[in-house]
Amino acid sequence: MPLALNVNGAVCPLPEDLDPSTPLLWVLRDTLGLVGTKYGCGQGLCGACTVHLNGQPMRSCVLPVAAAAGSRITTIEGLDPAGAHPVQKAWCELDVPQCGYCQAGQIMSAAALLAKNAAPDDAAIDAAMAGNLCRCGTYLRIREGIKRASALAAGGKEAVS
Amino acid sequence: MKTSSSLGRRRFLKLSGLAGAGLVLGSYLRFTGDAFAIEVRGAAEAAPAGARLGAFVRIAPDGRVFIAAHVPEIGQGVRTSLPMIVAEELEVDWRSVTVEPVPLDRAFSRQSAGGSNTTPANFLPLRRAGATARVMLVEAAARTWGVPAAECRAESGAVVHTPTDRRLGYGELVALAATLPTPPAESVPLKDPRDYKIIGRRIGGVDNPSIVTGRPLFGIDQTLPGLLHAVYVKCPVFGGKVVSADLDAVKKLPGVVDAFVIEGTRNLNGLMPGVAIVAKSTWAAFQARRSLTVTWDEGPRANDSWDGLVREAREALGRPGQQTPRNEGDVTVAIAGAAKTVEAEYVYPFLGHTNLEPQNCTAHFRDGALELWAPTQNPGGGQRMIAETLGLAPEKIRVNITRIGGGFGRRLESDFMVEAAAIAMKVAAPVKLAWTREDDMRHDHYRPGGVHRLRGAVGQDGALLAWDARFATFGNVSGRPGSGAGISGNEFPAHFLRDYRQEMSVLECGIPMGYWRAPGSSTLAWVTQCFFDELAQAAGADPYRYRLKLLENPLQPKPPRGGFDPGRMRGVLVDAAERAGWDGPALPRGRGRGIAFYFSHRGYFAIVAEVTVSPAGALTVDRVVASGDVGSPIVNPSGADNQVVGSVVDGLSAAWVQSDDVKDGRVVAGNFDAHPILRMPAAPKVVEVRLIQTDNPPTGLGEPALPPLAPAVCNAIFAATGKRVRSLPIASVDLSWS
Ligand code: FES
Ligand code: FES
């Protein structure tokens, strides 16, 4: 039976000839055209491919698509398409990205962290984000960004950009 | 298998969560042109064309302003900072500006991103570009009203006739303005920096809204109708060639469209021989390569190893250097008569760039012409290499420049572009070449490793008397150092010390070398500023004041060619020391402060690092204080600060955990397990940046903050533990103490 995925709230039937062991990452990118989720290592080492599976952060590069069928998948495109999620807003406010390549994964990890810990301290942030590499070294702004997102989610006033 | 291009627009919008969100979508459609295929697909309403005023400025009839971003964006912020310069002189509100990508085009003089050159090379020309357009718009308004231009002023995207307060928007004026003669660039009046409204403001990156919502931006994100996906398999030994490959077996694999051998050239930085596999998806191509069997001719360098190269280097260091970049005074005599001498060997490994976006390039060959979508720092170089290697006329090669997932110098090389071009020329469809992470780590153009032997002498009174340095470095050709592998005669304390010698020998090896962020400087700063610390210690002097004292006494009153301005360097050194509390209470054992400075890419930087080393040897970098002088103004302080903090983290990562071992002619590490880069928990807790705005023209920030980081940290480790780190990475050095 052909597989179907539930991505960003839409049901997506997959082509019949799709190898069910294909990592979710490549199905998102090449089959569904959702290229916001990034390839960095293909081995679960860099976090660039992080998506949410039923709200949990997952490395989509090591997750066979068959194992993702039946779960609610959220990609960076679906986090909030208007960019209004507190993490997205904080990222823009603080100008977190440099090259930006890691940031989809960073944002998905950060959003998952805040969903279960609304006000993480430095240690909790470092622990939750340790799987996401940033080659450009934006870690300090990411720490700040998560705190800012936490404040925004708690109803904090938006800073003027 | 279905490719993304077979999805209808409606389907794409739905998946991307944008269904029925036409307005939202519109506001994100900042990119026009076919470089961004998916966005174009959604772009129902293209921006009205309007008219162009010079190469950089286009104004739509509705007053929207489009400014060309002509330099590749690698994270250094130029897609934001350069248009800010144009917008400032054009007198428009930043809100009305849309930044447009442009392909490689002769209309722009220089479209490469490297050497921290972009700001110094563009600051004046872009001000003039904006001012020229402004002058033409003012002239158009004056003609419309029949008044002298001198009675008119530009303001917020409009021209105002001052005596009567009449007002015409740029959108209404642009059609006429575009027909007027362009005034000579040198003649247009430039704004007084005191009146700047955009330059000097913290402005977020123009692509941030797209980045945080996952819009396609990067090279690897390119999608075209009918796109095929390729991998390119090269010999694991640098310089190796294909003898034979079992192509038939690969062609039978699911999703594979074609497989062929590319003979390639002998240029280690060009099109190396290999096997291309073209498939319907990236994954099918990645899978197929696992089944590929190739017989390689590994060539003459199959026995190269880092251990062997270090052995050779040490032998070479026992002999006088092949070259002597500087020999002042008489170091032999000075050292013989000195009260104290110090000798040390410093060694650092080869190091890849590990951009987070692996190398990739999309190419389409049709009707004798080639079009590329390339994440390249050097589009012109790529075009040239393709033209020369594949025999195409440069006019037949269009290069679209995508956003880039990390540069660091890696993408000044054009190997991935010429590979994509060579593959595309054999395939009747557009094709995206994607390197695996393993390809990327094992086929880089590495920062050259090196071995230094230094001798120095201090007098009874502690005065520095002599510096005698010998450097064994590497090149692919005998006698010629690889990219970033050389040394000049200008390394500090040259120009501050009478008896100074620098020798160099270049050893041949087969490892491709390339520029790595702050080429040369990133390693030479570590060697020279650490050894200088050893001499301060021998002199019984404070490492900060020992530096300062020398900087106060240059041999010549004016900075010599290749040297730096001692006054500007003292400025940053004193600032960093004071802000770091250098003279504050002494730190307990196991904690330490270290200081270093360096001049590179026209920029002056001093860094104080504060570290903790546990008795077991675990290192924590608690605080980094960085002071820089890159002139003024700072175009975008947010981007500038991001560059400096990023350089600190990058410099720390490179010095602490990164290296590339070479065995049997190949790089050993293939992924981030064997070649780690710094993770968030190891990043400094605090980085404090200050840019001193001196009255000097603005220079670049992509590189100069990085070099002093490693020596500052290693000098701090010494202060904490009494142990000198003389080989990198720091992680391979035992820092335990008791
Ligand atoms: S690409 Fe999945 S963790 Fe790196
Ligand atoms: S911003 Fe470049 S890798 Fe993180």
Is the same domain home to B414 and B343? Answer: no
Bridge-based pairing of strands B228-234 and B274-279 is antiparallel
CA distance B159 to A16: 62
Nearest CA in chain B to A10: B15
Identify which of A91, A94, A102 to mutate to test ligand 2's pocket (most ligand atoms within 8 A of the CB).
A102
Nearest to A32 among B4, B202, B213 (CB): B4
Interface of A with B in 84-143 (CB under 8 A): 87-88, 91-93, 95-104, 107, 122, 125-127, 129-143
Other C-beta atoms lying within 10 Å of the C-beta of residue B295: 9
Joined together, the tokens standing for residue B89 give 């002189």
Distance to chain A for B254, nearest Cα, Å: 9
Strand spans (E) along B385-458:
397-401, 431-434, 450-458
Instruction: Flag whether residue B74 sits within 8 Å of chain A, measured between CB atoms.
Output: yes
Other C-beta atoms lying within 10 Å of the C-beta of residue B297: 15
Q: What is the pLDDT of residues B238-250, one digit of tens each?
A: 999 999 999 999 9
CA distance B580 to B693: 19
Kindly report the backbone phi and psi dihedral angles of residue B249, in degrees, each rounded to the nearest multiple of 5, phi listed first: -60, -40
pLDDT at A156: 62
Bridge-based pairing of strands B323-328 and B431-434 is unpaired
Number of Cα atoms under 13 Å in the Cβ half of residue B51: 16
- Quote the mean pLDDT of chain B: 93
- Measured at the alpha carbon of residue B603, what is the angle toward residues B601 and B608, in degrees to the nearest 5? 120
**Any domain includes B95:** yes
Q: What is the torsion angle, in degrees rounded to the nearest 10, for the CA atoms of residue B27, residue B32, residue B34 and residue B35?
A: -80
Nearest to A142 among B211, B357, B680 (CB): B680
Q: What is the pLDDT of residues B293-302, one digit of tens each?
A: 999 999 999 9
CA distance B732 to B658: 10
Whichever domain contains B9, its CATH number is 3.30.365.10
pLDDT at B710: 98
pLDDT band of B109, cuts 50, 70, 90: confident
Do the Cβ atoms of A99 and B646 come within 8 Å? no
| Closest to B720 measured CA to CA, from B594, B596, B623 | B594
Instruction: Flag whether residue B223 sits within 8 Å of chain A, measured between CB atoms.
Output: yes
Strand spans (E) along B526-680:
591-600, 603-613, 619-629, 662-663, 666-667
3-state percent helix, strand, coil for chain A, nearest multiple of 5: 40, 15, 45
Q: Which residues of A touch B282 (CB under 8 A)?
A: 26, 29-30, 39
| Closest to B456 measured CA to CA, from B541, B392, B391, B516 | B541
Look at residues A19, A52, A79 and tell me which one is the last residue of a structural domain.
Answer: A79
CA dihedral over B350, B353, B356, B360, signed as positive or negative: negative
Question: In a 3-state reduction of DSSP, which class is residue B96?
Answer: helix
Is the same domain home to B484 and B368? Answer: no
Pocket of ligand 1 contains residue A59 by CB under 6 Å: yes
Bridge partners, residue B51, by sequence: B59
Is the same domain home to B529 and B547? Answer: yes
Q: Report the nearest atom of ligand 2 relative to the CA of A100.
A: 1
Number of Cα atoms under 13 Å in the Cβ half of residue B50: 23
Q: What is the pLDDT of residues A85-123, one digit of tens each?
A: 999 999 999 999 999 999 999 999 999 999 999 999 999
| Closest to B134 measured CA to CA, from B48, B194, B53, B60 | B53
Look at residues A32, A55, A79 and tell me which one is the last residue of a structural domain.
Answer: A79
pLDDT band of B386, cuts 50, 70, 90: very high
**Any domain includes B208:** no
Counted domains in chain A: 2
Q: Which domain holds residue B122?
A: 2-201
Q: How far is CA B247 from CA B250, B289, B558, in A?
A: 5, 10, 65
**Any domain includes B712:** yes
List own/partner pairs for A125-132 with CB under 8 A and 24 or more apart. Answer: A125/B680, A126/B680, A126/B681, A127/B681, A129/B680, A130/B679, A130/B680, A130/B681, A131/A46, A131/A47, A131/A50, A131/A59, A131/B679, A132/A46, A132/A47, A132/A48, A132/A50, A132/A102, A132/A105, A132/A106, A132/B680
A52-66, A125-139, B48-62, B603-617: range with lowest mean pLDDT: B48-62
Q: Which residues of A touch B405 (CB under 8 A)?
A: 38, 99-102
How large is the ipTM?
A: 0.97
pLDDT at B253: 97
**Any domain includes A160:** no
Pocket of ligand 2 contains residue A131 by CB under 6 Å: no
Q: Which domain holds residue A111?
A: 86-153
**Any domain includes B214:** no
| Contact assessment for residue A37 and residue A58, using Cβ atoms and an 8 Å cutoff | no
Do the Cβ atoms of A15 and B21 come within 8 Å? no
pLDDT at A1: 60
Mutate: best of B278, B680, B701, partner A, most A CBs <10 A: B680
Pocket of ligand 2 contains residue B336 by CB under 6 Å: no
Instruction: Flag whether residue B355 sits within 8 Å of chain A, measured between CB atoms.
Output: yes
Is the same domain home to B292 and B161? Answer: no
Do the Cβ atoms of B646 and A136 come within 8 Å? yes
Bridge-based pairing of strands B450-458 and B340-348 is antiparallel
- Quote the mean pLDDT of chain A: 95
Is the same domain home to B176 and B62? Answer: yes
**Any domain includes A25:** yes
Instruction: Answer yes or no: is pLDDT of B7 > 80.
Output: no
Is the same domain home to A35 and A73? Answer: yes
A61-65, A136-140, A157-161: range with lowest mean pLDDT: A157-161
Q: Which residues of A touch B221 (CB under 8 A)?
A: 35
Question: In a 3-state reduction of DSSP, which class is residue A127?
Answer: helix
Counted domains in chain B: 3
Q: What is the pLDDT of residues A29-57, one digit of tens each?
A: 999 999 999 999 999 999 999 999 999 99
Do the Cβ atoms of B1 and A93 come within 8 Å? no
CA distance B302 to B289: 22
Distance to chain A for B214, nearest Cα, Å: 4
Whichever domain contains A75, its CATH number is 3.10.20.30
Question: In a 3-state reduction of DSSP, which class is residue B531?
Answer: helix
Is the same domain home to A49 and A67? Answer: yes
CA distance B184 to B249: 64
Q: What is the pLDDT of residues B11-42, one digit of tens each?
A: 444 454 443 332 222 222 222 333 322 232 23
**Any domain includes B209:** no
| Contact assessment for residue B226 and residue B430, using Cβ atoms and an 8 Å cutoff | yes
Joined together, the tokens standing for residue A77 give 């495109």
Nearest to B21 among A10, A81, A93 (CB): A81
Contacts of B367 (CB under 8 A, 6+ apart): none
Q: Which residues of B touch A29 (CB under 8 A)?
A: 4, 282
Is the same domain home to B334 and B190? Answer: no
Ligand 1: residue whose CA is nearest its atom 3: A44
**Any domain includes A161:** no
Is the same domain home to B477 and B505? Answer: yes
User: Read out DSSP for A7-54?
Assistant: ETTEEEE--TT--TTSBHHHIIIIIS--TTS--S-SSSSS-TTEEEET
| Closest to A142 measured CA to CA, from A119, A156, A158, A122 | A122
Helices (H), ranges, B109-214:
118-145, 170-177, 208-213
